[in-house]
Amino acid sequence: MTDSRFAPNAKMEPYWWEAAPRPVLPEPKLPGRTDVVVVGCGYTGVSASLTLAREGREVVTFDAEHAGWGCSTRNGGQIGTKLRLGLGDLSAKYGKDRAAAMVKEVTNARNYIEDLIKREALDCQWSVCGRFVGAHRPGDYDGLAADMPVYKRECGIDADMIPRSEQHAQIGTDAYYGGLLVHNNASLHPGQFHAEMLDRAIKAGVKIAIHCPVSKVEKDGNEFVVTHARGTIRAKNVIMATNGYTDGVAPDLRRRLIPIGSYVMATEELPVDLMKRLMPKMRVISDTRRVVYYYRASPDGRRFVFGGRVAASETDPAISGPLLHDVLSGIFPEVKDAKISHSWMGFVAYTFDSLPHIGVHDGIHYAMGYCGSGAHMAPYLGHKIALKVLGREQDARTAYDGLEFQTRPFYSGAPWFLGAAVMYYNFLDRLPSGSGRRP
């Protein structure tokens, strides 16, 4: 690496792959016919596959790359309880009750994975560490304080305001004007979580075909014919679980998704005393910016894992790493000399209404568009879409059912408008005051 902030042996791949190396899977003998084909082997796909296999269905799950190659082993491992849109905006569009149900569904997702982790004994460093949302402008603290009781009352989100004078008990910085502490937010090791889910799916009988892109899904009578890199397979049902990596195999879904790069870097190990002072409660952290920074300590408490969006256009981890390092050093000047050990990125999928989507399109089931909050929403909606395939309509119900999955005229899936949008939101974030982001 040319930038001196990189450690000499820095890697341009996720830090999580150290403790969860990319799985080596045997090449399965693929049948000519199966009950369900799942396209995509991230959290959505593997969760759907596990649920179906446990219900006795034959499942073949494909990934174009290795299992978990997409966001599911690249994310920050932060488990939240909010949606991209605030409760006020949601209420204006969908009415108060549905808006509250949509937000509560995120807590349902959080609770679902907590139960799953316990039930299946998934070894993934689950920790109910709480989240500190830092107010990056004085006015944002007031915005958070005004919203907090509403979220408590309407959505059951347990949170407390932390004034700036008490901030150091949560986080060792003066960069924020106080903030919000959301108690039941959590963290996990994203790579280990995926590896453990994959293990349970394989043990349940799911056949996983990796490095095997699916190129076509066609309807043929009551079945689908799925063309993949090694041949074709017939299936009663198909689940599209490709999220921010949705390609030409599902053009109609692709034009409803906005893939956006999110960038992360990890520092080398830092002194234990310093980390204890800067991250005394090991909370997950985000802030009130529209272009949010999200970060945490690594599960062993020894390094920072720091993420966000540092450039208007998509860029290279060799470039984003030092830029993220600059922001981290602005928050914690004590770490300005810490070297970057890993830098990476992945594509999250936003949607035009900023909501997750689950349903059936042209007979193909899908769950996607988690807007950057899929570490818990993806396994949860993956489970729900499997229940829909099983015909268990009552159990499969979600607050996002029946939403129109919007697109825009002439949009095919390449977000030409992204750079301008990021610059505009960065401009808004720099204005002296504004309403706070929602907890």
Ligand X SMILES: Cc1cc2nc3c(=O)[nH]c(=O)nc-3n(C[C@H](O)[C@H](O)[C@H](O)COP(=O)(O)OP(=O)(O)OC[C@H]3O[C@@H](n4cnc5c(N)ncnc54)[C@H](O)[C@@H]3O)c2cc1C
Which residue ranges make up the site for ligand X (CB under 6 A)? 39-45, 62-65, 69-72, 74-78, 213-214, 241-245, 247, 249, 262, 264, 294, 307, 346, 348, 368, 370, 372-376, 378
Q: In the bound complex, what is the minimum distance in angstroms from residue 262's beta carbon to ligand X?
A: 4
Q: In the bound complex, what is the minimum distance in angstroms from residue 131's beta carbon to ligand X?
A: 10
d(CA 365, CA 388): 8
Q: In the bound complex, what is the minimum distance in angstroms from residue 166's beta carbon to ligand X?
A: 25
DSSP 8-state symbol, 119: H
State which residue, 373 or 407, has the beta carbon closest to ligand X. Answer: 373
State which residue, 151 or 370, has the beta carbon closest to ligand X. Answer: 370
Phi, psi values for residue 279, rounded to 5°: -130, 65
State which residue, 141 or 245, has the beta carbon closest to ligand X. Answer: 245
Q: In the bound complex, what is the minimum distance in angstroms from residue 228's beta carbon to ligand X?
A: 7
The residue with tokens 């053009």 is 251
State which residue, 265 or 338, has the beta carbon closest to ligand X. Answer: 265
State which residue, 307 or 436, has the beta carbon closest to ligand X. Answer: 307
d(CA 212, CA 37): 13
d(CA 214, CA 118): 33
Q: In the bound complex, what is the minimum distance in angstroms from residue 363's beta carbon to ligand X?
A: 17
Label residue 309 exposed, middle or buried (CB < 10 Å: 0-12, 13-18, 19+). Answer: buried
Beta bridge partner(s), residue 219: 224
Q: In the bound complex, what is the minimum distance in angstroms from residue 192's beta carbon to ligand X?
A: 14
Is the CA virtual torsion 87, 144, 306, 21 positive or negative?
A: negative
The residue with tokens 């807007």 is 371
Amino acid at 290: R
Is the CA virtual torsion 151, 152, 156, 159 positive or negative?
A: positive
State which residue, 385 or 399, has the beta carbon closest to ligand X. Answer: 385
Amino acid at 47: S
| Chain position whose Cβ is nearest to ligand X | 374
State which residue, 57 or 228, has the beta carbon closest to ligand X. Answer: 228
The answer to whether the beta carbons of residues 74 and 190 sit under 8 Å apart is yes
Q: In the bound complex, what is the minimum distance in angstroms from residue 433's beta carbon to ligand X?
A: 28
